[in-house]
Amino acid sequence: MTEKTTTYSSTKEWLLTDTPASALQAAAGRAYLGLLEFLKNRLAVLGLMIIVALVFVALFAPYIAPFDPILTDLKHRLLPFSAEHFFGTDELGRDIFSRIIWGSRLTLYVIGLVAIIAAPVGIIVGTVAGYFGGIVDMVLMRITDIFLAFPKLILALAFVAALGPGIENAIIAISITSWPPYARIARGETITIRNSDFIRAIRLQGAGPIRIISGHIMPLCLSSLIVRVTLDMAGIILTAAGLGFLGLGAQPPSPEWGAMTSSGRSYILDHWWLITMPGTAIFVVSLAFNLLGDGLREVLDPKSDN
């Protein structure tokens, strides 16, 4: 075969070439095709835009928020919408708009940490159980079953009650309750691929279980797991807000959306904006994650129709 040195006239050509010259180019081309597929789904792009906006707002909260979120001003309590207070003020005269802006940091903090803790635990437990089978599988899956036997929020409540209220404990409690479904998914995927020829082939080349699980099985479980985690983000936000609402999550005066709806509850009839504004924020962000998750499923999940 003759070596061809090709020059690419554009980035697009470089990405879509049949004959990539390096592993990086091959991976980039694959990612580009995935991106094109994703962009076809308008709703998913909308979801992604909302999440990007959320991250942007959280990063620049001090510059966007016009007021200090915990500064009380009793002379101006329970004010309706105005040019000064976009979303009005709450029962202690704090600016609701500023509190929602700062609250986005807490929301991101919760979902980020839960994803970082729960997803790896789930994928490791699931792939190890699925790959080894037998007694290892039985022990790990029975532990998973114990966690799955409780409703998620109730178990989280029990953990927070035991650990003490606070946002860090809420994160730990939510993580503990959200890894079992990921372990189940990863185990199911592992069982379908562990006897395939390409896994046998690498075993016959002398690879050990660590190399096989981390390099060959995990990448194949990852796509369905990413989709599931994204779809679960909405649930995580709601659980965090629920814990906040019950007074077991973030503690006052921190501007957590769930805690804000809780404290606005007593004013719901006369001053509806106290509970509606943070509630809407929770709704929009949850919806955005669901839309993004659906879009990712179409790109990543080979079993979907598109």
Partner 1 sequence: MLNISNLNISFGHGSEKNHAVKDISFKVKRGESFGLVGESGSGKSTVLNCISGLLNHWQGTIKVDGVPVSQKRDLAFYRKVQLVFQDPYASLHPRHTIDRTLKEPLAIHNFSDINHRVEKVLREVDLGSQFRFRYPHQLSGGQRQRVAVARALILEPEIILLDEPTSALDVSIQAEVLNLLQDIRKERNLTYVMVSHDLAVISYMCENCAVMSQGAMVEMISAKQLKSGNLTQNYTKQLFTASKGYDRAAIDLFQDF
Residue 28 vs 148, nearer CB to partner 1: 28
Least distance to partner 1, CB of residue 226, Å: 14
Residue 76 vs 203, nearer CB to partner 1: 203
Residue 4 vs 303, nearer CB to partner 1: 4
Grouping H, G, I as helix, E, B as strand and the rest as coil, residue 17 is coil
Cβ pair 229, 178 in contact under 8 A:
no
Residue 164 vs 208, nearer CB to partner 1: 208
Least distance to partner 1, CB of residue 213, Å: 13
Least distance to partner 1, CB of residue 195, Å: 10
The amino acid present at 76, given as its one-letter code, is H
Footprint on this chain of partner 1 (rule: CB under 8 A): 1-4, 18-23, 25-26, 30, 196-198, 200-207, 211, 215-216, 219-220
From the list 240, 235, 248, 257, the residue with the least C-alpha distance to 101 is 257
Cβ pair 246, 211 in contact under 8 A:
no
Question: What is the rounded distance in angstroms from the CA atom of residue 237 to the CA atom of residue 50?
Answer: 15
Cβ pair 297, 227 in contact under 8 A:
yes
Residue 149 vs 204, nearer CB to partner 1: 204
Least distance to partner 1, CB of residue 20, Å: 4
Grouping H, G, I as helix, E, B as strand and the rest as coil, residue 301 is coil
Least distance to partner 1, CB of residue 217, Å: 10
Least distance to partner 1, CB of residue 188, Å: 18
> Which pairs with CB-CB distance under 8 Å and at least 24 residues apart come from 295-299?
295/38, 295/41, 295/43, 295/44, 295/45, 295/47, 295/48, 296/38, 296/44, 296/226, 296/227, 296/230, 297/227, 297/231, 298/37, 298/38, 298/41, 298/44, 299/34, 299/37, 299/38
Residue 22 vs 306, nearer CB to partner 1: 22
Residue 29 vs 165, nearer CB to partner 1: 29
Least distance to partner 1, CB of residue 137, Å: 19
Question: What is the rounded distance in angstroms from the CA atom of residue 299 to the CA atom of residue 306?
Answer: 8
